[in-house]
Amino acid sequence: MAEQPHFTVRGSASYNKTLGITQRATPLAATWIGDLRARFSDFQVNEIQADGSVLHLKNIGLGGDETQTTEAKQDPSTGSVKEEANQQDETLDGKKEASSNGNATTVPIQPEQTRDVSTEDVAALEALTDTQFTKEVMELYKDGAGAAHEKPKTVTSQPVDDRPKRGQIHQEIRRIFKSQIDTGTDDSGAILATFVPPRKSNNKKNRGGRGNRDRREEKPAGEYLHFTLFKENRDTMDAVNQISRFLKVKTQVVGYAGTKDRRASTVQRCSVRHQRSRNLAGLNGRLWGISTGDYEYHDRSVYLGQLLGNEFVIAIKNCEMVGESKDEPVSQRVEKMRANVDSALAHMAQHGWINYFGHQRFGTHEIGTHQIGTLILGDKYEEAVKSLLHYDEEIAAKAEAGEVPEEAFKRDDYARNQACMLFLTGKDIEKAIKIMPRRFSAESCIFRHLNRQGVQSRKDFVGSLIHITRGLRSMYLHAYQSYVWNHAASKRWEMHGETVVKGDLVIAQTESTPLVSGQDQDGDDIVNPIMDDDDDTPVRARPLTADEAASGSFSVYDVVLPTPGYDVVYPDNEIGAFYEEFMGRKENGGLDPRKMRRMRREFSLPGRYRKLMNRFLAPPSVEVRAYADDTEQMHPTDLDIIKAASKRNGDGGKRRREDANAEPTAKKAKVEGDDGAPATVDVEMAEEGAKETPATAEDASIAPSALEPTKIAVIVKFQLGRSAYATVALRDLMGDPPEETVTA
């Protein structure tokens, strides 16, 4: 199927209804509409790590221009910009060394350059912790150089129960002490601080130049190389496939905590087993839309679910309130929009919103992933396989005739449609297998299995489904569960709203027997969201009695709903009956929610619980402003910040070209300089699909600031826990547009 145009909130109302997303919990003065992802960098996602800190890419590659960090330059307590700009990660054990010129020769970090801490930073740390802990950390930092060859000393804070506050403490200690104090959290929630001594250089060993680096990397400090992945216009699985191909390893050895959107600029922590950092650094500039850096060795891999959530910075462009007059001055429209959005966002921060599964859960092709899951659970395996291989006849015909677009992602889509046509019609099976792009792994698995023994295996549809990787296969089944859950949540809210009623499910805190173990295998981190602060063990649910529901001891934030399965209980009220009626419909598979075991274990579903309501992890923020050009970047990405720092340091700072055929335009993105004043950096528009026509010299000459701002952008920043969907939160913030505003 052809690539869809960039997602717009205008076109989502009818599709929302199909997916069961029909209710809202947030009152709005007026519904407003706008365009999401006019550029990929309009949708930015950064992982929130388990300690509460937001992950950012600080260095790219091993050395040279791309390894300069921005952390030191933004720290007012640093003494010399030049020395700090040359600071880089040396990739053997994750500890930082200073380099004289970015090459292999290293020099020791001078202790006297790192021992001064400003009084403002001391006061900030005391405000977050206490005077005693701050004093001990300061002593640890000042005495650290003398203890470089001794057993590392650790100081411990008082327990901190507030997880976001713990994350802030981790971040501040790293910033204040320039990453020379390593921090962790013990079981009580106390902060553990340990001095990280700088690596001493050995001039004799360093004479070997680059060869010396190879010798030092022969014995890495851990089995797994952890790295930060920055990607644009690639989903996580696509990026993992590309990285594994480059490293010539199986995709299974690349670990990640969660999947990230394709049409976005995202940052996440990953790991790869038995690899040297120089091998991974070699892919920078060779794989389009992918950059890696901040390498460290560890004894354990990054695994699915090893994150607290994600921080989103989303720019919504061409915003307007439904029914407003465009004849009003833009300044008045901005103020009205600001008041409307501020009110709605404040309500969401206090009351939350319905915790729907978002559009990403159901795919982007004409046949949704939940529809394929319905066929599999209904034992209609042939129909499921043919649905997976569904193709657009017009696109397939164009591809067959050689009418292929220039854009790489469109070429892949044309090749997929052509391959599916050739395979299903039997016109040329071998060619179909050959031209199917590798990133379409489900289709490739089906092709290989159905052709493994020629005509004899062409009817083994169930075998071809099982041959699909477990994570991808389970995605279709989980999508069906999500589809049912959304409809049940809408029915529950429609009938009872925030009122807790008899039969509502809550987690039985006294139960300790887990329903299931591990995480979802489709990479969407759908886990039991009810847990103790640091305990991910799933627990069972029970229905409330009438007296409990009326007691006020439980709120709507305690209510959970199950995804269909054989090991869950259903609400003991009208919602439980709704599961039976809804799933029993022919179009929904004619299934029984209490009979979810299958003859084939791969298609059996235990089910899980999901909270009815969701809330932000931290206070959200919003900016509303006028702008002129849709190509203007509203918020710099991590890659832009690295480039800005490089440019301020006077080295030219050209962002690495990740697509040699892309034509950049000279658009500008605002970035704060060292003194807090706005600085500008060049931003490449190499994102595929960002413009339908190639950039021209005329495009390059247009500076957004030179045009009259007539449009409105809303830039929202918020943090969500894992399994939450940003687009669902945005829908509650914006409202459903009336049908007459819906566009294709």
Residue 628: DSSP 8-state: S
Residue type, 646: S
Helix, strand, coil percentages (3-state) for the chain, rounded to 5, are: 35, 15, 45
Tell me which residue of 601, 570, 607 sits closest to 480, measured CA to CA.
607
Tell me which residue of 391, 439, 461, 441 sits closest to 419, measured CA to CA.
391
Q: How far is 5 from 44, CA to CA, in rounded Å?
A: 19
User: Counting beta carbons within 10 angstroms of the beta carbon of residue 742, is it exposed (0 to 12), middle (13 to 18) or buried (19 or more)?
Assistant: middle
Give me the residue label for tokens 């029914």.
323
Tell me which residue of 550, 540, 534 sits closest to 507, measured CA to CA.
540
Strands across the sheet containing 181-185: 154-156, 191-195, 181-185
80 to 286, 409, 648: CA distances (angstroms)? 34, 45, 14
| Coil, strand or helix at 447 | helix
Q: What was the pLDDT predicted at 396? A: 94
**If the chain, 744 residues long, is cut into consecutive pieces of 10 residues, what is the mean pLDDT of each piece?**
36 78 92 88 93 92 46 34 32 34 37 61 85 87 59 79 79 80 78 72 46 49 89 88 89 89 91 91 87 93 90 94 85 94 95 93 85 94 94 93 85 93 92 90 91 77 89 90 97 96 89 40 36 44 95 95 95 96 95 91 91 95 93 91 79 42 36 34 32 34 63 95 91 80 39
Q: What was the pLDDT predicted at 441? A: 86
Whether 576 and 317 have beta carbons less than 8 Å apart is answered as no
Q: How far is 263 from 284, CA to CA, in rounded Å?
A: 20
Question: Is beta strand 265-273 parallel, antiparallel or unpaired with respect to 43-48?
Answer: parallel
User: Counting beta carbons within 10 angstroms of the beta carbon of residue 210, is it exposed (0 to 12), middle (13 to 18) or buried (19 or more)?
Assistant: exposed
Q: What was the pLDDT predicted at 487? A: 97
Q: What was the pLDDT predicted at 114? A: 43
Give residues with Cβ within 8 angstroms of 196, minimum separation 6.
95, 144, 152, 179, 180, 181, 182
Q: What was the pLDDT predicted at 220? A: 63
Q: Give percent of the chain above pLDDT 90.
A: 43
Residue 588: DSSP 8-state: G
Whether 315 and 635 have beta carbons less than 8 Å apart is answered as yes
pLDDT in tens, 267-318: 999 999 989 999 999 888 888 889 999 999 999 999 888 899 999 999 999 9
- Three-state DSSP string of 244-301: HHHHCCCHHHEEECCCCCCCCEEEEEEEEECCCHHHHHCCCCCCCCEEEEEEEEECCC
Give me the residue label for tokens 């595929």.
688
Q: What was the pLDDT predicted at 688? A: 34
pLDDT in tens, 109-148: 333 344 578 887 888 888 888 888 888 888 888 876 444 4
393-400 and 408-425 helices, crossing angle to 10° = 100
Q: What was the pLDDT predicted at 46? A: 96
Whether 351 and 612 have beta carbons less than 8 Å apart is answered as no
Q: What was the pLDDT predicted at 510? A: 57
Pair of tokens at residue 466: 């099982």
Whether 83 and 72 have beta carbons less than 8 Å apart is answered as no
Give residues with Cβ within 8 angstroms of 236, minimum separation 6.
256, 258, 259, 260, 266, 268, 523
